[in-house]
Chain A
Amino acid sequence: MTDTAVRKSRGIRHRGALAVFLVPFGALFALFYVIPIGYAVYQSLLVVERDGTFGPAVQVFGGLTQYIAVFENEAFWSSIGRVLLFGVVQVPIMLGVALILALLLDSPLVRGSKFFRLAFFAPYAVPSVIAAIMWGFLYSPNLSPFTGVTQTVDFLSAESVLWSIANVVTWVYVGYNMLIIYSALLAIPSEIYEAARLDGASQFRIAWSIKIPLVVPALVLTGIFSIIGTLQLLAEPQVFQSFSSAVTSTFTPNLTIYSTASIPNISLAAAMSVVLALATFVLSFTVLKLTQRRTAA
């Protein structure tokens, strides 16, 4: 047998294995990802027509009618503005705290790092709905165990509820982000630290000049995940609707889509979803490009 024949037969065998491994993923990906997105895009191109006050509705192709309606929808854009403001404040705070916690865990000066690693990560194991309910009760003026605080500061007022929700989101996700950054820290070769120590660098200096620059890729990754998560906020504000009247039915983009779908105006909701997905994509990609350019330079 020649060398090429061996390679060829091996190649065919691999192709069969490839199919076996890819089909389950491909089928699920198509079923739960490609088809629903395709259906949403299709739905977003339809408009309703009917005769008379109770005439049967007929869905017909309407081109970009729904997209024009999305761009004219003030509530939708103000909800996007609200989550962007949320993201600008909450994401840096959350990632900053996650970074500090990760550096502390990685520092040789801290004892019990295994315990703290688990303790900081634990909130992520709490489903976000449950976390929101729990915090909702903590914030309630009369039901909170800390009524002394909640009766003087109204955490659920129109001015503060967005930041109260930000606190819940931070509480849930800070440990998750910390873990990603921490594992990036663990991947740093120990020779670098040795060299730094030989040069007489303090722990603080090592953290500032070696660790942080080396975990920038992890920070970019968690940053992008956080931006996506911010634009898609739904569970926390929805739960907070039952604690605070300041959370309207159009508080976040996803809540706006949800209440539009409940009119029901499915086509407009689909168009909003598509616009939101594109906006998320553009924003994430921009952040990625900007940070890549900065790290390259």
Chain B
Amino acid sequence: MAISTVARVGAMAALTALALTACSTGGSEAPGAAGGDCAPSDGPVTLTFTSWLPGVEEAVAIWNEENPDIQVEVQTGPNGNGGTYQNFFNQLEAGNAPDLGQIEFDAMPNFRVQDGLENIAACEGILEAEDQFVPWTWSQVTFGEEDAVYAIPQDTGPMAMFYRADLFEAAGIPVPTTWEEYQAAAAQIREQGGYINNFSQSDINAFAGLVWQAGGEWFANDGEQWEVNLTGEETTRVAEYWQGLIDEDLVAVYPPWTDEWNAAYNSSEIWTWVSAVWGANTIASGAPDTAGNWAVAPMPQWEAGESAAGNWGGSTTAVLKGSDHPYEAAQFALWLNTDADALTAMNKTANIYPATIEGADLPVFGEGVEFYGGQKIYEVFAEAGNNVDPDFTWGPTMTQVYNDVADGFSGAVSGSGTLLEALQSGQSSTIDALKAAAIPVKE
């Protein structure tokens, strides 16, 4: 996740240029017949694969070594909502999308609605692979349909609390296990000049993870129409809780993923981060001076004694519409996300936590991690993964939801409006966006 500002901005500039000149192939042709045929290509093929996973090239190199006839070229980009999704949408419109792309679970419905995904159910071994994956991840890539597989799950993002074990111990503050204790600890930490956390005003998917933990649901799809509910009881509860912390200046409000934000962690100003498993890599690369001082505990709970967890992120490898070699692309996607060597390589470089059932038993997940004082942190995340509610549904325009709510959240942290008001305006703008895309939605 350490994407340099320069690269991000450069990519955005390039994208803007693309957006202005993209040519259409005339999007009127019928979508690919579901579960149609999927035959191998003749002769050697080269596949293109766009991903933002740090070091994914290493896993791909293993495949290229073993499969001289199916070479995969990796193209890296900014993270999905940071530009790669828009790039994909433009490329799909122009008919020159890569064969394979990294797509997070929350963006799958968006790509499905835009008809950007190839149904690979008919490809050899794909339907049979279902048993290898954690059940909720598989339902995210099939949308619960028969004879349909739109991507191969890659990793999940079970959430837990990263915290500075050394600082908590030195200050004599107990590590919080409930959100109530968390707030109390926040006040004590503030007295010491630090902040317990940074409220990531633009990471709406992280906020969604908190809502997910609290049992909230933002979207529902009954097959007839979508229902949008950004202001339900659980969401309101989470929003009011964090609004309280912001109002009392108990959390920092640095824009996330910036050098300023890294510096705040690196200088020990911020003591915890409630984040997903891949966040382990973010802290280690962003705050190298704090090595060895971190530990991982389960997320604080709304009710003492519970063990609910949220999920933030997690990706799939999708075969994008228009690929000339769906068979080979599907084989690669399946290999990348089930092969023990590939999963180990991706964990080493990007701390991903695989979506396969067996993946959790790989030796690497039983090892202690030095940056976290030798703690076997993946055991905490494995436990969290089991406690994630499997039925959370993402809406078909999440990029727009994230943008609109983030605009409101940014206002809220700088004193204009509240988190709840931002969600309320996000609710109506989301319904408008669905209507504009002719997607049936309950008012």
Inter-chain CA distance A37–B27, complex, in Å, is 19
Q: Which residues of A contact B67 (CB under 8 A)?
A: none
Asked if B170 lies at the interface with its beta carbon under 8 angstroms from chain A, I say no
Stretch at the interface among A105-113, A177-185, A219-227, A260-268: A260-268
Asked if A167 lies at the interface with its beta carbon under 8 angstroms from chain B, I say no
A157 CB contact (under 8 Å) in B85, B109, B414: B414
Q: Which residues of A contact B399 (CB under 8 A)?
A: 262-263
Asked if B182 lies at the interface with its beta carbon under 8 angstroms from chain A, I say no
Inter-chain CA distance A127–B237, complex, in Å, is 46
Interface contacts (Cβ under 8 Å), in number, total: 137
Q: Which residues of A contact B13 (CB under 8 A)?
A: 129, 235
> Is B9 within 8 A of A239, CB to CB?
yes
A238-296: which residues lie under 8 A (CB-CB) from chain B? 238-239, 241-246, 248-250, 254, 258-259, 261-266, 268-269, 273
Residue interface bits A36-68, CB-to-B below 8 A is 1, else 0: 100110010001111011101111000000000
Inter-chain CA distance A264–B89, complex, in Å, is 7
Asked if A125 lies at the interface with its beta carbon under 8 angstroms from chain B, I say no
Q: Which residues of A contact B28 (CB under 8 A)?
A: 58-59
Q: A129-B10, A242-B8 are in contact. Are A142 and B27 (CB under 8 A)?
A: no
Residue interface bits B406-427, CB-to-A below 8 A is 1, else 0: 1101110111100000000000
Inter-chain CA distance A235–B9, complex, in Å, is 8
Asked if A133 lies at the interface with its beta carbon under 8 angstroms from chain B, I say yes
> Is B225 within 8 A of A53, CB to CB?
yes
> Is A143 within 8 A of B263, CB to CB?
yes
Asked if A234 lies at the interface with its beta carbon under 8 angstroms from chain B, I say yes
Asked if B143 lies at the interface with its beta carbon under 8 angstroms from chain A, I say yes
Asked if A21 lies at the interface with its beta carbon under 8 angstroms from chain B, I say no
> Is A261 within 8 A of B202, CB to CB?
no
Inter-chain CA distance A43–B93, complex, in Å, is 12
B241-297: which residues lie under 8 A (CB-CB) from chain A? 253, 255, 257-260, 263-264, 267
> Is A142 within 8 A of B263, CB to CB?
yes
Asked if A69 lies at the interface with its beta carbon under 8 angstroms from chain B, I say yes
B17-50: which residues lie under 8 A (CB-CB) from chain A? 19-21, 23-24, 27-28, 30-31
B residues near A (Cβ < 8 Å) are 5-6, 8-10, 12-13, 16, 19-21, 23-24, 27-28, 30-31, 85-86, 89, 93, 109, 112-115, 143, 201-202, 221, 223-226, 253, 255, 257-260, 263-264, 267, 396-397, 399-400, 403-404, 406-407, 409-411, 413-416, 433, 436-440
Given contacts A54-B113, A262-B403, 8 further A-B contacts (CB under 8 A): A53-B224, A59-B27, A243-B255, A245-B413, A258-B16, A262-B85, A264-B86, A266-B93
Please list the 6 inter-chain residue pairs (A to B) with the smallest Cβ-Cβ separation, ordered nearest first: A245-B410, A248-B407, A262-B86, A249-B403, A264-B89, A263-B400
